[in-house]
Structure formats: structure tokens, C-alpha cells
Chain A
Amino acid sequence: MSRLPSARPSPVRPSPLQPSPLQRLALRVADVAAQCSSIKAAGSGMALVLDASNPMDGDPSAQELAAVDAALVCIARYGLAKTTIADVANQARISRATLYRRFPGRENLFQMVLTVEYQRFDAYVRSAVNPAVDLADLLAKGLHAGVGFVASHQALGRVLAHEPDLILPFLALDQGDVVLEAGGQPLRGPLQAYLTAEDAVWVSTWIARIGLTYLLGTEDAKQLSTVEQCRTLIDAFVAPALTDLQS
């Protein structure tokens, strides 16, 4: 017997997460959330959104930004699978009708969330490395900013901790390059002050790879919580490998 999907009953809400959800990642990562098809659509849309050669047409409107920020609050609180357009409308104090008109499906909203958040990541990292006094300084500041942005991202932390199936394919499967390339992208332009465009590509991806390995460890991100810690790592293992490449 098939049943029509019914309106979601309003459940008892879990309490909001503690400030550092990434620390819970390893504990809960095997606790895989049940997926629904629209979530999968949102997941595969992530590759597109994160592809920096696929910029959004125009800047998001104030209302779209309000919806994105409300969605982030809801995702951090309830997770991706349980966040509905209605939740976001309530949180943003926008009428449901208005929100549904702009985002017919949740995947449209989630793609906007990804796009806006990626732009914020990009802007955050770029501003952190400007100014940089030399190549090592640029790499240390970039690594610190990128790791810091992700580690303190509550919505992402919630998804990683409770719905890892939505994220893990981007970390290890055939889509594994997406996160590495997207993570390194903000550094490519700035790096060209010191390196050829070709070298800037693999060096930026290398830094993103290092950052990612620290972000995935339970407590590892703490080892890169200051610029000085990042600088020590860069000075030890990255900068010496680049001395003959600097132009």
C-alpha cells in the first residue's frame, strides 16, 4: 500500500549543537542518515556549484541572502534532510509563498546556500592573504583562513557529523577532486605574485589537501588554529619545496 506524503508533523526539536560540531564527526560518522532523493540531487548539484568556472548569474538579492542565512541556521539545528522550505521561511520571517516562488524545491535553495557559502569562503580566504609579505606568509594565512572557515562552520559541521553520506563522496570517490580544487581556488590568483600560473594551480590544491586532512581528523584542526601554527607547518614542509620555483 502506498501512502501519499503528508505534511511533516512538527517534531520535538533537538537542542542546537555545541559550538564545535566537527569534533563530533568521528564519533557519529558511521551513524548514517537515511537519504531522500532530493538530498541526493542537492549533493550532485554541489559539484556544479563548487566549480568555480560556473559562477552564479549576478549577486544574490537581500531576500535570497536572508533565506540562505536562515537555511544555515536550520541546517545547523536540524540537519539537511530535515530542513524544509517552511522551516527556512519561519526562520527568515519570509512568507512561505514568497520563498516557494523563489525556490520551488529544497534543492534549489540548497544550491543557493552552497553557492553563497562558497563565495563567502572564497572572499574570506582572499582577504586573509591580502596583504602577504612573502610566499610562506601567503600560504600560512591561506591555510589558516580556509581551515578556520570550515572548522567553525556550524551547518557544515552538523552535516558532517550526522549526515556524512552527503559529504564523504566528495572526499574520496570520483568526485574527490571537487573539494580540493574548490578549496585551493581562492589562493590561485594571489599565488601568481610568486609562482607561474601553472604552479599556482597545483600549489593551491596542495594547500587545500593539507587543510582537508587536518579538518577530517577529530582533533587535528586544533593544530592549525593559529597563523603561527600554520606558518610552522608551511616552513617545515611546503616553503622549502618551492624555493627554486619562485619568480
Chain B
Amino acid sequence: MTGQLGTTVAVLEATLRCFSVSGIAKTTIDDVAAASGVSRATIYRMFQGGRDELVRDAVTLEIQRFFLRLTSAIDDAVDFASRMESAVHFAHENIQNHRLYQTMLAEEPGVLLPLLTTQSEQVRDMVAGYLAPYLKLEQQAGRTLSGVDLLAASQYVARLTISYIVNPGRDDLMNPDIVRRVVRRQMLGGILTADALSRPGEPGVPPESS
């Protein structure tokens, strides 16, 4: 990657490296400049909101990567409902072991939590955008309930997915029966037909392979 975008990503990656070395609170723009080889002046030009914006964008990048890893981990699921079950399970298991996430929760919850709670629109749109093509495939295969609004449905599923990743509450997401209820009733019960929810189907082919 070259040009402005490549430089921006390089700076954000350097920022994430600094986070894991010195923690978030102690990471300065100078540290990031040294780690990325990009000058302070350039960094300030790229992130006009200063350090706050840099931190927020770096964390957003890491969230996007988390979801990318998640999507590649569930590619072999046979249909959408199974895919979502794998996703919920994978996300729950991996968030516990995600060092930066846990560090941020402990050190700077004020930076991370808004991105996953109060400012979650950006993350939600990203997740919904990922889900929509799969729902479309289910619809084309006649496996969605009649009258389902796919846009609203993907937003709703994304909303619940993020909520469950951030806060499972008392639901034990390591328990397959609980995950089954969460996914097949709470997330998809109003979207897929009873048949699609109870039997594996064909449209599990990832759209990116077509």
C-alpha cells in the first residue's frame, strides 16, 4: 500500500504496537512518530483531532481486524444460522484472550467502551454490511420469512451481535444450547423460516468466493 492511505495505516499500526508495549495512557504522539518513522507534523496533519483521534482510529482499526479474523474463522459453516453460532462462540472466546481489548478495559475503558456502546454505529454498520449478503443468499433460497426487510434485519442482527460480544450478561456463550437459543431465536427467529432454522441449507457459500 502506498500514498496517504498507506501512511495512515502505517501510523495506526505503529500506534497499536505502542499500545501493546507501553499501554494506551502512556503512548504519546512522539512514540508513534518514532515507531512509524512518520514525522509529528505529518501525524498531526493526518489526525486533526490530535491524540484522541489517533487513539480512536487505531482502536477502530483493531476492531475491524477482529471482525475480519472472525469472518475467516467461520467460513466453513454450512448455513447462515450455523455461521452466526460459530461467530458468537468465536467472538466470545477470542475477546477473552484479546490482549489489547482486555488492557483497554482495565486501563482506559473510557476510550474503548464508547466505540462498542455509545458510538457503535460505525462498528454496527460494518457488521451489518458483512451480514447483508448472507441474508440475501438465504432470501434467494426461499429461507427467509415473507416480508423481511433485509436492511433492517442485518442492522438488528449486528446490533445484537455487538451487544453479546461486549456484554454476554448471564448467558453462557460457551454452552452450545445457549448459543443456539441466542442465534436461532433471538437473532434470527423473526428472519429465517422455521425450516431454515432447524435444518442446514445450501446457501452457506460465502459471497466473496462467487
Contacts and interface: CB of A to CB of B under 8 A. Distances in A.
A in complex with B: yes
Interface of A: 25-26, 29-30, 32, 164-165, 168-169, 171-173, 176-177, 180-181, 202, 205-206, 209-210, 212-213, 216-218, 233, 235-242
Contact of A236 (B110, B152, B160, B185): B152
Contacts of A165: 109-110
Contact of B119 (A26, A213, A242): A26
Given A30-B52, A209-B160, A172 B189 contact: no
Contacts of B152: 236
Interface extent on B, as a size class? Answer: 35 or more
Interface stretch (B82-90, B127-135, B166-174): B166-174
B210 to A, nearest CB: 28
A173 B116 CA distance: 12
Contact of B118 (A26, A181, A238): A26
A202 B171 CA distance: 9
B131 to A, nearest CB: 14
A238 B168 CA distance: 18
Interface in B157-208: 159-160, 162-163, 166-171, 181, 185-186, 188-191
A235 B186 CA distance: 13
A171 B111 CA distance: 14
Interface residue SS majority, chain B:
helix
B159 A213 contact: yes
B169 A216 contact: no
B117 interface: yes
The 5 A-B pairs at the shortest CB distance, nearest first, are namely: A241-B189, A176-B167, A237-B190, A32-B110, A240-B190
Contacts of A233: 156
29 contacts: A25-B118, A26-B119, A29-B113, A30-B110, A164-B113, A168-B109, A168-B110, A168-B117, A169-B109, A171-B113, A171-B117, A176-B166, A176-B167, A177-B168, A177-B169, A180-B169, A181-B170, A210-B159, A212-B163, A217-B118, A218-B118, A235-B190, A237-B153, A237-B191, A238-B189, A238-B190, A239-B190, A241-B188, A241-B190
